[in-house]
């Protein structure tokens, strides 16, 4: 490219911004171009063109969206920190802190190496969102950058093209939709679709061409008729008509598991009017012109989408038997629908849809950053964000009548976390339209949802099997992870103290230098971390105590001498008392379902803590090869919790037998957790119940009550 051509390109950018920017601002943009051209001197893209052409194209995309001059300067300079010797301080000195902040936020993590491409993608995305927290314009420049890269993919290797296209369809196009930037989102989808699925796109395009050949003038005829009808009613409107985009048709085919013939509404029309009142008048006129398809009307003006989008949507039975989709909106709503949060800069002084879109985008970003703080790693964070990008929406009401947009399939737990983290953590039940319902019940549009909480309640790990929002999933995982660490710390301290007592010592009496040495050997920061490691089963308490003993108390190599010294100086270790309140670091397996009153043994498992079995459990034999992992345990005197236990019942086949037995279990103050029925013959069946009881005595009461049912032939607890 020669200098004259480059000059024309910067002139072209200046021409695009002249209608809405001040002369001094345009002058700064020209200066930024000259600065960038010098910085990128000698650099070329894979296509062979001078590198400065790319940032200039990115700035032109943003100029068409009427972005402010600082954003355009940042777009021109967005690669200088990453690809040239220019640093942030120099950009700040030349163009100000705001521009430097945007440019720095866009700089990739090229100086870091990760184990996998997935981790690289996740960390880059995480960094970008963190930069968005400081200035949301970072994502606008990033989307424009991605759009120009997609337009010029042809110069890259096929495998790289496919990777970038997949990343675009999975992350960047949904982000553009989430932020309401429709004009960028549609082009990203079409370019990504063409690169990733060229054959599928070709087939759909051929089908579209075939239909267009048969109905070449359908769009123009319908558009003219709509215009004429609105004019007759003295309503001024701008009417646009188009075929639906190929990727949109492909997505609908995937969603409905149907072929092209199953997607009927391939024509879409937009009616743009001057006011909200006129939108509803236009809707009535169109419904009198063409019959509406039942259940296909959506009022996004009264209830805007989460990204601030507003419009009336209706599907009509058009001429030639073709369903047509019509969107009715005001001029400002149309601008927001196309530009999303970017419209905020065009309507900066307004207080309407553009400001609403910007506010909703920031609310979404705030939720994303909360997820980022709670995610275990970058890839888990990216997985949670993908869940939120971008599901179909439903609209539910809080008890105060506020409307909350939620993803389709959302449950009461998702709803609770969407309102506040503490509400989600303490919920125990919900009321849907004033009726009690299970927390896992999927919500529907128009329902009023009230969350019931209880003091001391906490998230249940089973919630992870049905929640659908990224925020709920990330918050539950974060809570359970921290809960397990707290429980492991408490258990580990008890185990260490128990071992020290057997040597006549306590934690307070151990030499601090020995403690520091042990922590250093294990690379742990403090004693609390050591307790956690012991409680999780990663560090056996006897081994830790051996390292903490002073030299005169160290167990000698002679076992006989060790026994004499132990009998003289200390008492044998007392079995660890199992209270039932240890949480996730003490588990009770389904192989033997141990209960208070049973003779039990503990087995340390790395990362899980103690697994408690009955002494006679068949699985205990598998642990004989690792006696160092055994731990003596006993039940505490007062265990205040319920445990699962399995009962096997042989019953006579009669109508209502299951209900009768369930009633008997309830009469014995026990709860049924699971039921499995297997038919033995025409006369008898076997029923397996998993019930919750407090101890062996409570279990005996249940068995006695169930035996009193006439249809029960035999009842027995599952053998260990």
Where in the sequence numbering do the catalytic residues fall?
82-83
453 has which bridge partners? 427
3-state SS class at 193: helix
3-state SS class at 531: helix
User: Buried b vs exposed e over 390-429: b needs ≥16 C-beta within 10 Å?
Assistant: bbebbbbbeeeeeebbbbeebbbbbbbbbeebeebbbbee
**End-to-end CA, the chain:** 81
CA angle 531, 533, 534 (to 5 degrees): 65
d(CA 565, CA 562): 5
d(CA 536, CA 295): 54
Q: Which residues contact 357 (CB under 8 A, 6 or more apart)?
A: 179, 180, 307, 308, 309, 336, 340, 341, 343, 344
**CB atoms near residue 97 (< 10 Å):** 12
3-state SS class at 425: helix
Tell me the helix, strand and coil percentages in the chain, rounded to 5: 55, 15, 30
Half-sphere exposure of residue 368: CA atoms within 13 angstroms, side-chain side: 27
Structure tokens at 511: 């030499």
User: Buried b vs exposed e over 323-358: b needs ≥16 C-beta within 10 Å?
Assistant: bbbbbbbbebbbbbbbbbbbbbbbbeeeebbbbbbb
d(CA 257, CA 350): 44
Structure tokens at 154: 């042809």
Reported residue count of the chain is 720
Rg (CA), the chain: 34
Distance of CA 590 to the CA centre of its chain: 31
Q: Which residue has the tokens 């989408």?
A: 305
Structure tokens at 327: 């969107």
- Which is it for strands 267-273 and 323-330: parallel, antiparallel or unpaired? parallel
By the 8 A CB rule, do 548 and 520 touch?
Answer: no
> What phi and psi values does residue 153 have, to the nearest 5 degrees?
-65, -20
Strands (E), 231-389: 238-243, 267-273, 298-299, 312-317, 323-330
By the 8 A CB rule, do 609 and 584 touch?
Answer: yes
Closest CA to 105 of 77, 85, 67, 84: 77
**CB atoms near residue 48 (< 10 Å):** 8
Torsion of CA 350, 356, 362, 364, to 10 degrees: -170
Alpha-carbon torsion 641, 644, 649, 654, what sign? Answer: positive
- Give me the DSSP letters along 388-413: HSS--EEEEE-TTS-EEEEETT-BHH
Distance of CA 348 to the CA centre of its chain: 32
DSSP H helices, 168-197, are 173-178, 182-196
- Give me the DSSP letters along 459-470: --GGGGGT--SH
d(CA 45, CA 21): 30
């Amino acid at each position: 490219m020669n200098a004259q051509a480059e000059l024309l390109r910067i002139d072209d950018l200046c021409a695009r911004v002249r209608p809405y920017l001040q002369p001094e601002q345009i002058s700064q943009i020209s200066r930024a171009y000259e600065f960038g051209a010098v910085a990128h001197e000698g650099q070329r893209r894979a296509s062979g063109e001078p590198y400065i052409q790319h940032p200039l194209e990115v700035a032109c995309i943003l100029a068409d969206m009427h972005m402010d001059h600082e954003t355009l300067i940042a777009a021109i300079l967005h690669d200088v920190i990453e690809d040239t010797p220019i640093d942030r301080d120099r950009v700040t000195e030349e163009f100000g802190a705001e521009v430097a902040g945007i440019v720095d936020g866009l700089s990739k993590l090229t100086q870091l190496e990760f184990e996998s491409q997935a981790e690289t993608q996740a960390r880059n995305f995480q960094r970008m969102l963190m930069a968005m927290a400081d200035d949301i314009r970072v994502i606008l420049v990033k989307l424009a950058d991605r759009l120009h890269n997609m337009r010029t993919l042809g110069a890259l290797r096929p495998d790289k093209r496919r990777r970038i296209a997949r990343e675009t369809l999975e992350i960047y196009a949904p982000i553009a939709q989430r932020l309401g930037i429709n004009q960028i989102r549609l082009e990203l989808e079409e370019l990504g679709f063409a690169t990733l699925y060229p054959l599928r796109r070709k087939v759909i395009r051929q089908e579209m061409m075939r239909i267009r050949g048969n109905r070449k003038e359908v769009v123009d005829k319908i558009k003219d008729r709509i215009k004429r009808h609105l004019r007759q009613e003295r309503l001024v409107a701008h009417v646009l008509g188009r075929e639906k985009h190929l990727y949109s048709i492909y997505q609908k085919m995937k969603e409905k598991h149907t072929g092209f013939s199953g997607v009927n509404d391939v024509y879409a029309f937009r009616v743009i009017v001057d006011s909200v009142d006129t939108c509803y008048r236009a809707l009535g006129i169109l419904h009198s012109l063409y019959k509406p398809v039942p259940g296909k009307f959506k009022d996004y003006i009264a209830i805007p989408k989460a990204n601030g989008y507003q419009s009336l949507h209706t599907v009509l039975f058009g001429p030639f038997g073709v369903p047509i989709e019509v969107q009715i909106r005001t001029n400002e709503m149309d601008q927001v629908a196309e530009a999303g949060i970017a419209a905020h800069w065009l309507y900066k002084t307004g207080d309407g849809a553009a400001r609403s879109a910007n506010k909703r985008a920031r609310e979404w970003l705030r939720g994303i950053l909360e997820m980022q703080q709670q995610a275990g790693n970058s890839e888990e964070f990216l997985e949670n964000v993908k869940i939120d990008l971008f599901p179909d929406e439903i609209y539910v009401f809080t008890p105060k009548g506020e409307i909350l947009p939620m993803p389709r399939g959302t449950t009461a737990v998702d709803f609770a976390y969407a309102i506040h983290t503490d509400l989600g953590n303490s919920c125990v039940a919900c009321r849907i339209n004033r009726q009690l319902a299970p927390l896992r019940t999927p919500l529907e549009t128009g329902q009023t949802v009230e969350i019931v909480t209880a003091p001391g309640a906490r998230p249940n790990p089973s919630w992870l099997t049905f929640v659908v929002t990224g925020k709920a999933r990330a918050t539950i995982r974060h809570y359970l992870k921290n809960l397990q660490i707290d429980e492991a710390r408490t258990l580990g301290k008890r185990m260490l103290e128990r071992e020290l007592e057997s040597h006549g010592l306590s934690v307070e009496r151990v030499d601090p230098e020995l403690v520091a040495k042990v922590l250093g050997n294990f690379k742990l920061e403090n004693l609390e971390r050591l307790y956690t490691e012991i409680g999780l089963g990663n560090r056996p308490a006897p081994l830790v105590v051996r390292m903490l003993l002073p030299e005169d108390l160290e167990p000698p190599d002679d076992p006989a001498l060790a026994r004499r010294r132990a009998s003289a100086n200390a008492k044998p270790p007392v079995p660890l008392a199992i209270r039932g309140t240890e949480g996730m670091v003490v588990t009770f397996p389904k192989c033997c379902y141990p209960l208070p009153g049973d003779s039990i043994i503990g087995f340390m498992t790395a990362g899980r803590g103690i697994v408690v079995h009955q002494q006679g459990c068949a699985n205990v034999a598998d642990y004989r090869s690792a006696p160092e992992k055994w731990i003596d345990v006993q039940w505490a005197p007062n265990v205040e919790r319920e445990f699962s236990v399995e009962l096997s019942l042989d019953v006579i086949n009669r109508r209502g037998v299951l209900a009768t037995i369930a009633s008997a279990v309830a009469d014995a103050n026990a709860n049924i957790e699971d039921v499995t029925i297997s038919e033995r013959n025409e006369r008898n069946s076997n029923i397996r119940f998993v019930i919750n009881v407090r101890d062996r005595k409570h279990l005996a009461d249940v068995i006695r009550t169930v035996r009193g049912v006439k249809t029960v032939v035999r009842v027995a607890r599952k053998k260990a």
